Structure 1
Amino acid sequence: MICAPAFAEAADQPTEISAEEITRTVKTMTLDQFEGRAPGTAGEDRTIGYLIGRFEALGLEPGGVDGTWTQPVPLLHTALGTPDRLSFSSKGKSTALNAGKDIYVSTLQPRDRAVVEDAEMVFVGYGVTASERGWDDYKDVDLKGKVAVFLVNDPDFAAASDDAVAGKFGGRAMTYYGRWTYKFEEASRRGAVAALIIHETEAAGYGWSVVESPQGENYGIAKPDGEMTSLALQGWISGEAAQKLFDGAGLDLAKLRVAARRSDFKPVAIGTKFAASYPVKQEVVKSQNVFGKITGKTRPDETIIFGAHWDAYGEGPPDEDGKIYRAGANDDALGIAGIMEIARKFKSMPQPDRTIVIAAWSAEERGLLGSEVYAQAPIYPVETTVANLAIDVLQTAGKAKDVILVGKGQGTLEDDLAKFAKLQGRVVTEENLPERGLFFRADHFSLAKRGVPVLLMMSLAGASDLVVGGRAAGQKWIDDYTGKCYHAACDAWSPDWDLTGAVQDIDVMFDIGNSLAYSKDWPEWKAGSEFKERRDASAEARQ
């Protein structure tokens, strides 16, 4: 736990977080010259140059690799073409599948074709192996060369209150085991040649249109052959197509859903083979994370990271106003503007005892890849990283009476969020759709997996109780943003933005980091968090 804040005494009044400076940053980063800030493009080159220039102007030191401002992020970019073959076959009968409607897949193998040759399909329940929860869906079944078929979310997502599994995986709140990334990684560890998740809108947290929106593209971290995923194809099967698959195999999918909620569940051979052959365009894209820092005065090896992602979605189809660049004004140019303001405020104060790192991550929209590259080869040891405070999407509808907590019960930083929000006259509201797993869908998660205490500020996790209009107005803001402009060209700066609420949120993140910057305290994971054991194992490094 963090004790009472130990703010530094400054000779002059510290700089305040400025809505005008935030606006200036967002308007600049969404100019057409940045081309929507897609990794590996000319737009990235201009973005990196802009970020470095801003960090220098703020008086930050280079915080990247070997005294530079950056860290390389090598990315594999793939795009599937029209399949030559895509089918299920059972009992001598082959059924053609409609790419995009029945099934959506992509690949993270650097090959010119993605091929699955009549591979046996196996239903593996939720695809979870969690020894700490007494759970193993695989039961040592050999998946090498086979196709794993999963249910989405956690084993207790749809459990009745009297089911033995109820609450074992957080109930309606998603755990890491419910994320599709975990399921694909686990299938690859077991040698599967392909992996398909059965889509359900409620359990996934989004509809089929979101599943297919990447249009066959995928990004991953470029890896040597020996570390490459075994999955030639990974993706989703629609609920309707899955029902036909199981019906055709003489299996009752509804009963299997129930069976998969028991710890004694065993994988079920579907008795159907999957075949696919896609042409693939593939390239290695050179991207970069960007870092500035303020070196700590007395404990420089102890690091506090403020992070946001610089990337957006690049060029896309024109919207109704003719815009083609999906430049992510809110997601996440506003987050970058926030961490720049935090850096500016720190620079107006006495040198902190601990090192402050300002991190602008690449390729968040492609799967948290920039932060994952960093977490695999950290510039600042994770054992002595005090906290990672992340900003990703802030509401732009004015002051709020509350602040939204993402990931309740994970760590003591949430207690500090409540403490500093109270000083603003605000309260904490828990995210209202924890089953969507937003805690696992932003860059802080890459460091959380390595045990670093984290806190995410994200307004999409719940409707803010706005000073003007209350929670109904907060929900309207979410509905308008997610329904119209999320990941679209209309996520653009608007003169209608009211950034007073965003300034509140940035201020509270600064206050939390500032209380740590002049302190000897270490935030912790709470009992029951899946990340506590990893952090506890490195306790000696923080003595």
Structure 2
Amino acid sequence: MRSARFSAAAFLIGMGLFASPSKAAEPLVYAPMNPARMSDVIRTLASDPFEGRAPGTIGAIRSVNYIVSQFQAIGLEPAGDNGTWTQEVPMIHTKVAPDALAHFRIGASDGLDFHQSEQIYLTTSTPSSQIRIADAPLVFVGYGVTAPGRDWDDFKNVDLKGKIAVILINDPDFRAEPGEPVAGRFGGRTMTYYGRWTYKYEEAARRGAIGALIIHDTAAASYPWSTVIAPGGETFDLDRKGKSESLVMRGWIEGQAAHELFARSGLDLDRLSQQARRPDFSPVTLPGVTLTTSIDVNTTRLQSRNVLAKLPGTTHPDETIVYGAHWDAFGKSKGPHGEAMIRRGAIDDASGIAAVLEIARAFKSGPAPERTILFGAWTAEERGLLGSTWYVEHPLVSLPKTVANFTIDVLQMGGMAHNAFLVGAGQDSLQDDFATIASSQGRVTVNEALPERGAFYRADHLPFARAGVPVLPIMDLAGYPDLLQGGVPAGRKWLEAYMACYHQPCDAWSASWDLRGAAEDAAALYEVGRSLAFSRMWPSWKQGSEFKALRERTDSERPAL
């Protein structure tokens, strides 16, 4: 494999795609990306003055100013609101009291009290000073999925007004056995958007529920209860001035607590979960069970910002290629014992910002692109893809004429690797283009190792995909890197160490990192985008992708190939 990488480097250098190596012993297949410069960007964004880059904080202001200064230094043009470097993103920030309690009345019994972050986790995105719910019935709605194209409806027109929807996480076929009616209806072990908690809240709100509770299951959610409760009752949402449906209360029930609640009401949750895998499933009201809660909420409105810069196209400036990453992390908070901590988000996703800056620098140093290149640093990805969602709802360039979106969210720091990962394999032609470039670097592309995590539906490319724009996300937590130094065992060690720090204070910059593998990914994305910037090609969604029809609706707005 080592010699294959040397051959790839020689080929690329001969084609003029990469700079000549400084050492004969080490092919620079990550040129023109600069790993040392990327490391400096990550170190800066993850440093103490940036305070974890939470929206609405001084750390957010410093983050935006820093990224603007970097775009200016590269020589890009502003691409935000009214010729500025930023796009305003109005948000609502809510934080529920830490002593929140939900009382479940069960018939004539004393009922059950579930405490915040122990048996239950409650939040709200509704701007108010209090969550008040009195004796609201609970209705188990299975997986909470309405998918006409897959001949699936968990709701069966049941009236949820004034009620709490109780929902299973992931897709209806996540646990399906061969031969079950649901097998193959969704993604199997590969999560679709129907499996995401964001979709389930959206659908419950569309059905008129006042609240929704998702039953936590570590395997199906792909993360433990500690990750669910990590935000500490804090929620951000877009401030659409009442134009969108919203739940008064949303949250999770810890798995064992949910089993106890169902058992106390005379129901078997495991049996109901099996029934929920059938297309003829109908919602089940928990007999005699109601929920009552009164929780103080601190609500504020704030303005956050996307940072936007561009290189205008010389020939087709109305056609745009977008590179993006999110600048936010989780900010300052207190640990379980009251200790102050900063969740710095070094890898997630200062590494993505570092890559976007390197790609911008590479484009600026070369021939002017024929199509416009837009570079976005999105706010509030960690709070529900809010910055990228706002941009797609309020685009500053034509979405039908947006050629592609490249999103970088978590790059690996273990060094150069023999492999590269495809997230959401089989979605569009950009993945084939990436595989071709990775192969020329001496790498093989492999599908994500844990598709049940639904990674394709958890980063800032998703709002673009939902608008029909072909996307290519790079997320190096999708599998174990096969590192040049140490192979898969070393890659496994790196990824497991990172996942232990996922969204935690230990996601911090380290001088021991080897960013050559991260730079290699950035170089591959640059090459895919560069080929589009100097062509008339339009990437396409593949047959079977849920986003193909969305793009086809705007076919007439793009030039024919």
- Compute the TM-score of the two structures, normalised by the length of structure 1: 0.95
Instruction: Determine if contact 2:99/2:115 at 8 Å carries over to the other structure.
Output: no
Residue 534, structure 1, aligned to residue 550, structure 2: yes
Aligned residues: 534
RMSD: 2.0
Which residue does the alignment assign to 1:423? 440
Q: Distance in 2 between matches of 1:156 and 1:136?
A: 13
| Aligned-pair CA distance for 1:48 | 1.2
Which residue does the alignment assign to 1:22? 38
* Structure 1 runs not aligned, ≥5 long: none
Q: Distance in 2 between matches of 1:199 and 1:187?
A: 17
Instruction: Determine if contact 1:319/1:489 at 8 Å carries over to the other structure.
Output: no
Which residue does the alignment assign to 1:256? 272
Which residue does the alignment assign to 1:504? 520
Which residue does the alignment assign to 2:176? 159
Q: What amino acid does structure 1 have at the position aligned with 2:489?
A: A
Q: What amino acid does structure 1 have at the position aligned with 2:102?
A: L
Runs ≥4 residues deviating over 4 A: 7-10, 12-15, 82-85
Residue 69, structure 1, aligned to residue 88, structure 2: no
Q: Distance in 2 between matches of 1:275 and 1:192?
A: 15
| Aligned-pair CA distance for 1:380 | 1.3
Residues 452-491 of structure 1 mapped to structure 2, 5 A cutoff: 452-483=469-500, 485-491=501-507
Q: Distance in 1 between matches of 2:271 and 2:344?
A: 45
Which residue does the alignment assign to 1:86? 102
| Aligned-pair CA distance for 1:467 | 0.8
Which residue does the alignment assign to 1:52? 68
Q: Distance in 2 between matches of 1:134 and 1:284?
A: 40
Instruction: Determine if contact 1:354/1:517 at 8 Å carries over to the other structure.
Output: yes
- When residues 292 and 15 of structure 1 are mapped into structure 2, their CA distance, relative to the original with a 3 A threshold, is farther
Which residue does the alignment assign to 2:7? none
Q: What amino acid does structure 2 have at the position aligned with 1:222?
A: D
Compare 194-203 and 216-225 and name the one that shifted more. Answer: 216-225
Q: Give the 3-state SS of the residue equivalent to 1:324 in structure 2.
A: strand
Q: Distance in 2 between matches of 1:95 and 1:490?
A: 37
Q: Distance in 1 between matches of 2:67 and 2:185?
A: 44
Q: Distance in 2 between matches of 1:145 and 1:20?
A: 56
Q: Distance in 2 between matches of 1:142 and 1:318?
A: 41
Cα deviation 1:312-365 (Å, max 9, x = unaligned): 111133799x98322211111111110100010001111111100010000111
Q: What amino acid does structure 1 have at the position aligned with 2:186?
A: F
Q: Give the 3-state SS of the residue equivalent to 2:178 in structure 1.
A: coil
| Aligned-pair CA distance for 1:42 | 1.1
Residue 143, structure 1, aligned to residue 160, structure 2: yes
Instruction: Determine if contact 1:154/1:177 at 8 Å carries over to the other structure.
Output: yes
Q: Distance in 2 between matches of 1:48 and 1:417?
A: 30
Instruction: Determine if contact 1:82/1:278 at 8 Å carries over to the other structure.
Output: no
Cα deviation 1:288-327 (Å, max 9, x = unaligned): 000010001111111100000111111133799x983222
Q: What amino acid does structure 1 have at the position aligned with 2:225?
A: W
Q: Distance in 1 between matches of 2:296 and 2:236?
A: 16
Q: Distance in 2 between matches of 1:15 and 1:506?
A: 9
Q: Give the 3-state SS of the residue equivalent to 2:321 in structure 1.
A: strand
Q: Distance in 2 between matches of 1:376 and 1:388?
A: 15
* Structure 2 runs not aligned, ≥5 long: 1-11, 21-29
Residue 201, structure 1, aligned to residue 218, structure 2: yes
Residues 153-302 of structure 1 mapped to structure 2, 5 A cutoff: 153-229=170-246, 231-271=247-287, 272-302=289-319
Residue 350, structure 1, aligned to residue 347, structure 2: no
Q: Distance in 1 between matches of 2:268 and 2:378?
A: 45
Instruction: Determine if contact 2:332/2:340 at 8 Å carries over to the other structure.
Output: no
Q: What amino acid does structure 1 have at the position aligned with 2:262?
A: F
- When residues 245 and 117 of structure 1 are mapped into structure 2, their CA distance, relative to the original with a 3 A threshold, is same
Q: Distance in 2 between matches of 1:275 and 1:141?
A: 22
Compare 112-121 and 92-101 and name the one that shifted more. Answer: 92-101
Q: Distance in 2 between matches of 1:349 and 1:88?
A: 64
